Each structure stands twice: as C-alpha cells, then as structure tokens.
Chain A
C-alpha cells in the first residue's frame, strides 16, 4: 500500500535554473497539498488542490512558483528561475478530502547554489 510518492528526494541546482518537483498522491484521495519547510518559517502551506482544481494558492511565495495537477494521480511544483532562498524541504500531502487527515510524502530536499 504505497503512500504519497515524491521525486526527486534530493535536488541540487544552480541559481537561475528551473526546478520541477513531483508528487503522486494516495490513490482515491481528492485533496493535495504542497508545503515548504524552512528553519526560519517552519512548515508552511503553499497551495491546496481539491479534485485537481487549485483552491488556495495564497501561500505561494511569488510568481516564480507554479503548481499544476493535470490529473488525480500527479502534481508538480515548479520554480523558475530558482534562487538560493528557495532552498528548503518541500512536502506533498494528500487526504480523502480537505478536512480529513493529511498523509505526507517523504519530501524533496532542494538546494539552490
């Protein structure tokens, strides 16, 4: 019984490069969340999808960040261009509905040099 799958687990890139993080939610879950964890700000919600539709993207830090969910089993978070301050651990989580328990993936550790 696979949980939330994220790839890559680690990403090291240079400033200015495009970065794409991927997430496969648990089958049957209708809600998907992207979070970012930093030492300074802790764990913050970036964007929330329900039934593949973005409901709340108020946590997306700036226009360099974009997220898509083309179908129920796949989502991407893209940063273009990346900057050193984007270095963080990015988590994807899914739940049956927005109000149910959220199951987190293992995270992607992003380092922007």
Chain B
C-alpha cells in the first residue's frame, strides 16, 4: 500500500528542454514534501522541499509545485542538463515532531545530449 507513488519509472528528455517528474500521495496528513536525487553507487541527496503552506518553491533550475487538492506534486528542471541524469525520489512527511519520511519508488531521468 504505497502512500507515495511515482508512476513513471523512467523519463527521457533532450538537453536544454524541461524535465517534469510527477508524484502522487494518498495520506492527507502529509504536509511536507521533499525531492531527493540519487546517482548510481551513491546514496540519495536532498534536492528541494516544499511545505504544504506553499504551492511553489524554486531553487535555481529546480522548481517544485504542490497541488494539495489533487494530492500531487511535480518537480520541474529547466533547462535539463546531462548531469541531471539520475533517479529522483519523492518523499513526504507529516510534519510536527514526525521524523519519518515515506519515499516513492523513484523515477530514472535520462537527459540526452
């Protein structure tokens, strides 16, 4: 019973174009969301986060959008670069004193030169 779902196992885009990675969640108690990036043979690294009081958070080429009514978030990467090729994990947390992150299964992004 996956509470955080990344329905696209993989995505391929051309360098310079936009990459859009999607994530859906089912637990209405989640109010803090994160994206992690993972290269092969390395652990996940934190990329960007968003609190449920916002609907958008931007950091350089990376923007996360949150649609609470749809229980959906997305990560936009513009412009995409070959170095962005990695597995991207969406994670959620119910905030407050809750330390537990619930992860999606990840989406493999390939950016072609």
Which residues from chain A sit less than 8 Å from chain B, CB to CB?
A: 4, 31, 42-45, 48, 50, 55-56, 91, 93, 98-99, 101-107
Cα–Cα distance between A44 and B2 once the two chains are bound (Å): 11
Cα–Cα distance between A45 and B44 once the two chains are bound (Å): 14
- In the complex, what residue of chain A is closest to B6 when comparing beta carbons? A42
Show 15 A/B contacts (Cβ-Cβ < 8 Å), sorted by A. A42-B103, A43-B103, A43-B105, A43-B106, A44-B103, A45-B101, A48-B99, A50-B99, A98-B97, A99-B97, A103-B46, A104-B44, A104-B45, A105-B43, A106-B41
B106 CB to nearest A CB, Å: 7
Q: Which of B63-113 contact A (CB under 8 A)?
A: 89, 97, 99-101, 103-106
Given contacts A93-B43, A102-B101, 14 further A-B contacts (CB under 8 A): A43-B103, A43-B105, A48-B99, A55-B99, A56-B99, A56-B100, A91-B43, A98-B97, A98-B99, A99-B99, A104-B45, A105-B43, A107-B41, A107-B42
Cα–Cα distance between A14 and B109 once the two chains are bound (Å): 34
B108 CB to nearest A CB, Å: 12
Task: List the B side residues contacting A99 at CB < 8 Å.
Answer: 97, 99
Which residues from chain B sit less than 8 Å from chain A, CB to CB?
A: 2, 41-46, 89, 97, 99-101, 103-106
Given A99-B97, A102-B101, A107-B43 contact (CB < 8 Å)? yes
B49 CB to nearest A CB, Å: 8
Task: List the A side residues contacting B2 at CB < 8 Å.
Answer: 42
Cα–Cα distance between A43 and B100 once the two chains are bound (Å): 12
Given A43-B89, A48-B99, A102-B41 contact (CB < 8 Å)? no
Cα–Cα distance between A91 and B97 once the two chains are bound (Å): 23
B66 CB to nearest A CB, Å: 19
Contact A101 B106 (CB under 8 A): no
- In the complex, what residue of chain A is closest to B39 when comparing beta carbons? A106
Task: List the A side residues contacting B46 at CB < 8 Å.
Answer: 101-103
Task: List the A side residues contacting B105 at CB < 8 Å.
Answer: 42-43
Interface-centre pick from B44, B99, B101 (highest chain A CB count, 10 A): B99
Interface-centre pick from B43, B44, B103 (highest chain A CB count, 10 A): B43
